[in-house]
């Protein structure tokens, strides 16, 4: 048995072919690494937090400088518009002021009554604490993630998981922070979940984004009570991040499923936002199971005759 | 065409310096792409992804212009930068950018010589595939996004393709001259 030997390749050709092979292997390895990183990101979404912070610190100062002349131009246009519409606005505001003064009189009495009732019930309300006021300097307009970068970071006490509030209402919450910059997840992002109540009916629900100008109201408690277009949504304070009572949006289409909500505040333009501390931050560690806690009937039936959790050396039993 | 070492003995100090410092040109494709990614974080706050994906277009264009200067591993690093910059889960662009580079390289080897309009059509198909895979990979990474708003980015990206080609062409001529590398 014999076969014709393979024709001898020139050394240049061999080199080319070896290089092409190495290139193909490296390309495949790189893509496989990226797929692995995707799975890691699914399991551990908060990985690489420090690198993300450094990236924010690198990008944000540049935009702060670049956008300055555009801000100036925008302000000049605003001033011109203000001068042209001054008379009409003055008349409208005068009428509005008269109505507001009357309302303020009634509200003063209500506030006094509320303070008395709170004193009787010994109500303790957590205080809202302003950490920093910063401007939005850039955004991810070209990505599937709806986020904005603000010029305040961990040096100003801003970390991830804090409420960001604009002049007209809620803007979002911080998700990453560098030393001088932080990233805000906007309400329109599909990952955003805001616990709200409908002001007119008192129903609780969740407002979610959909990469769309309108937000969606989901998981509403008591869905049989109909909503109306024009119903206002404010934060409920559930979840411990957002303080209660911050405007989130207005229902514009109540019959749609899910109901469509127009956000109260838009971060468009040279917007300044306030970063507050979390309203009721979750404790760092779960409360330990108290020894001597009674065990439910089902656990007693399946687990033996012990009527209470044994004191030391056992796994904590969850108490429903 | 093979690379030849410069004649060291015949060069004076200034020429040697110019030769060494001239290597910054090798980074022109990567630097242009980083610049495009940076432009994508323009402070234009829109409720849907309507800004064209300039980073993807730059990867595509440089893979056709200078495939040797944008290997898959460089596209991978650029993808990591994009993921960090946009707050996406690490790995979405880091997979898609090298896939684009490899696809363009294989496609160019098969259908090498063609007109600008054909390139544009291939770029459009690449953009559509990129957005579909982004949709899938975001779901894999645990942050699902709706598919329909990505259609806006497909449209604007297809429209922005000639602009990116023009910019990258200008950069290529500024860095490598009119005939490309290797020609005098």
- The DSSP secondary structure of B28-96, one letter per residue, reads HHHHHHHHHHHHTT-S---SS--S--HHHHHHHHHHHH-GGGS-HHHHHHHHHHHHHHHTPPTTHHHHH
CB A188 within 8 A of CB A209: yes
A:B CB pairs within 8 Å: 170
Per-residue pLDDT at A182 = 93
Tell me: pLDDT of B5 over 80. no
Q: Quick one: which of B91, B37, B128 has its CA closest to A140? A: B37
Q: Which residues of A touch B53 (CB under 8 A)?
A: 142
Distance of alpha carbon A177 from alpha carbon A188, whole angstroms: 20
Q: Is B147 on the interface with A (CB under 8 A)?
A: no
Q: Per-residue pLDDT averaged across B58-85, rounded?
A: 93
Query: How far, in Å, CA of B175 to CA of B170, rounded?
Result: 9
User: Using an 8 Å Cβ cutoff, are A194 and A170 in contact?
Assistant: yes
pLDDT of the residue at A248: 95
Higher-confidence position of A81 and B144: B144
The beta-carbon neighbor of B102 closest among A27, A51, A267 is A27
Closest CA to A136 of B44, B119, B148, B168: B44
Indicate whether this complex's ipTM tops 0.90.
no
Interchain contact, B98 vs A147, CB within 8 Å: no
Task: Indicate whether B184 pLDDT > 70.
Answer: no
Return d(Cα B167, Cα A184) in angstroms, integer. Answer: 32
User: A149 has which bridge partners?
Assistant: A138, A183
Two structure tokens written together for B79: 């993808």
Give the nearest chain B residue to A144 (CA atoms): B49
Residues on chain A touching B133 (C-beta within 8 angstroms): none
In the predicted model, is pLDDT for residue B28 greater than 60? yes
State whether residue B142 sits within 8 Å of chain A by CB.
Answer: yes
Which chain A residue shows the shortest CA-CA distance from B132? A144
Spatial separation of the C-alpha atoms in residues B68 and B112, rounded to whole Å: 15
Shortest CA gap A282–chain B (Å): 23
Spatial distance between the Cα atoms of B146 and A258, rounded to a whole number of angstroms: 14
Comparing CB atoms, the residue among B47, B95, B153 nearest residue A35 is B95
Question: Which residue of chain B comes nearest to A143, CA vs CA?
Answer: B49
B8 versus B165: which is more confidently predicted? B165
pLDDT of residue A319: 41
Interface test with B, best of A10, A17, A21, A34 (most B CBs within 10 A): A34
- A247 in contact with chain B, both atoms CB, cutoff 8 A: no
Report the candidate in A163, A185, A277, A170 with the shortest Cα–Cα distance to residue A232.
A170
CA distance linking residue A273 with residue A70, whole number of Å: 19
Q: Tell me how far CA of residue A31 lies from CA of A234, B71, B136, in angstroms.
A: 45, 12, 16
B29 near A CB under 8 A: no
State pTM to two decimals.
0.80
Distance from CA of A147 to the nearest CA of B (A): 8
Q: How far is CA A105 from CA A101, A109, A133, A277, in A?
A: 7, 7, 32, 32
Residues 9-28 of B with CB under 8 A from A: none
Q: Which of residues 71-130 of A touch B (CB under 8 A)?
A: none
Q: Does A190 touch chain B (CB under 8 A)?
A: yes
* Per-position pLDDT tens, chain A of length 320: 577 777 777 888 888 888 889 999 999 999 999 999 999 999 988 878 888 888 889 888 888 888 777 777 777 887 888 888 888 899 999 999 999 999 999 999 999 999 899 888 888 778 888 999 998 888 888 888 999 999 999 999 999 999 999 988 999 999 999 999 999 999 999 999 999 999 999 899 999 999 988 999 998 888 788 899 999 999 998 888 999 999 999 999 988 888 999 999 887 765 789 999 998 877 666 666 666 666 777 776 776 554 544 444 444 444 44
Instruction: Give me the helices (H) in chain A, please.
Output: 11-43, 49-66, 68-84, 86-121, 297-303
Q: Which residue has the higher pLDDT, B41 or A1?
A: B41
**pLDDT (average), residues B156-178:** 92
Q: What is the pLDDT of residue A236?
A: 92
pLDDT in the model for residue A268: 72
Q: What is the CA radius of gyration of chain B?
A: 18
Please give the structure tokens belonging to residue A287.
């409360």
Nearest CA in chain A to B99: A31
Contacts of A64 in chain B (CB under 8 A): none
Contacts of A37 in chain B (CB under 8 A): 90-91, 94-95
- Apex A13 CA angle, A7 and A15, nearest 5: 125
Is the CB of residue A182 less than 8 Å away from at least one CB of chain B? no
| Of residues B5 and A173, more confidently modeled | A173
Q: Which residues of B touch A266 (CB under 8 A)?
A: 45
Chain A residues near residue B90 by CB distance under 8 angstroms: 37-38, 40-41, 47-48
Contacts of B99 in chain A (CB under 8 A): 31
């Amino acid at each position: 048995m014999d076969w014709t030997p393979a024709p001898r390749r020139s050394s240049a050709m061999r080199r080319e072919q070896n290089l092409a092979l190495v290139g193909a292997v490296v390309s495949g390895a790189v893509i496989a690494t990226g797929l692995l990183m995707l799975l890691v990101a699914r399991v551990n979404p908060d990985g690489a937090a420090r690198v993300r912070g450094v990236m924010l610190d690198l990008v944000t100062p540049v935009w702060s400088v670049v956008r300055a002349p555009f801000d100036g131009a925008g302000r000049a246009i605003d001033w011109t518009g203000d001068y042209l519409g001054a008379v009409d606005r003055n008349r409208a505001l005068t009428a509005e002021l008269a109505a507001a003064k009357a309302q303020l009189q009634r509200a003063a009495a209500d506030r006094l009554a509320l303070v008395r009732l709170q004193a009787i019930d010994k109500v303790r309300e957590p205080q809202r604490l302003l950490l920093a006021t910063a401007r939005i300097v850039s955004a991810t307009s070209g990505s599937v993630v709806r986020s904005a970068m603000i010029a305040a970071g961990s040096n100003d006490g801003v970390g991830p998981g804090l409420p960001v509030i604009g002049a007209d209402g809620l803007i979002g919450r911080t998700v990453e922070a560098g030393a001088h910059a932080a990233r805000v997840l906007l309400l329109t992002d599909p990952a955003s979940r805001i616990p709200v109540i409908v002001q007119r009916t008192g129903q609780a629900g969740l407002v979610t984004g959909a990469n769309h100008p309108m937000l969606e109201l989901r998981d509403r408690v008591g869905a049989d009570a109909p909503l109306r277009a024009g119903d206002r949504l404010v934060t409920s304070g559930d979840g411990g991040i957002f303080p209660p009572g911050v405007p989130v949006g207005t229902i514009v289409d109540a019959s749609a499923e899910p109901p469509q909500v127009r956000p109260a505040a838009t971060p468009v333009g040279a917007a300044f936002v306030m970063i507050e501390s979390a309203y009721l931050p979750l404790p760092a560690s779960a409360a330990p199971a108290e020894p001597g806690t009674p065990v439910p009937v089902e656990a007693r039936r399946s687990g033996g005759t012990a009527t209470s959790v044994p004191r030391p050396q056992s796994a904590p039993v969850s108490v429903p | 065409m093979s690379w030849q070492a410069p004649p060291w003995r015949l060069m004076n100090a200034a020429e040697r310096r110019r030769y060494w410092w001239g290597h910054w040109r090798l980074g022109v494709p990567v630097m242009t792409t980083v610049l495009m990614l940076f432009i994508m974080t323009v402070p234009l706050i829109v409720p849907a992804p309507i800004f064209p994906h300039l980073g993807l277009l730059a990867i595509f264009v440089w893979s056709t212009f200078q495939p040797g200067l944008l290997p898959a591993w460089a596209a991978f690093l650029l993808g990591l930068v994009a993921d960090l910059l946009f707050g996406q889960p690490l790995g979405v662009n880091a997979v898609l950018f090298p896939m684009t580079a490899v696809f363009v390289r294989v496609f160019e080897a098969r259908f090498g010589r063609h007109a600008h309009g054909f390139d544009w059509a291939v770029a459009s198909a690449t953009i559509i595939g990129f957005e579909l895979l982004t949709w899938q990979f975001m779901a894999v990474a645990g942050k699902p996004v709706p598919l329909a708003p990505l259609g806006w980015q497909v449209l604007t990206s297809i429209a922005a393709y000639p602009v990116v080609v023009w910019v990258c062409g200008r950069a290529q001529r500024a860095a490598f001259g009119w005939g490309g590398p290797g020609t005098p």
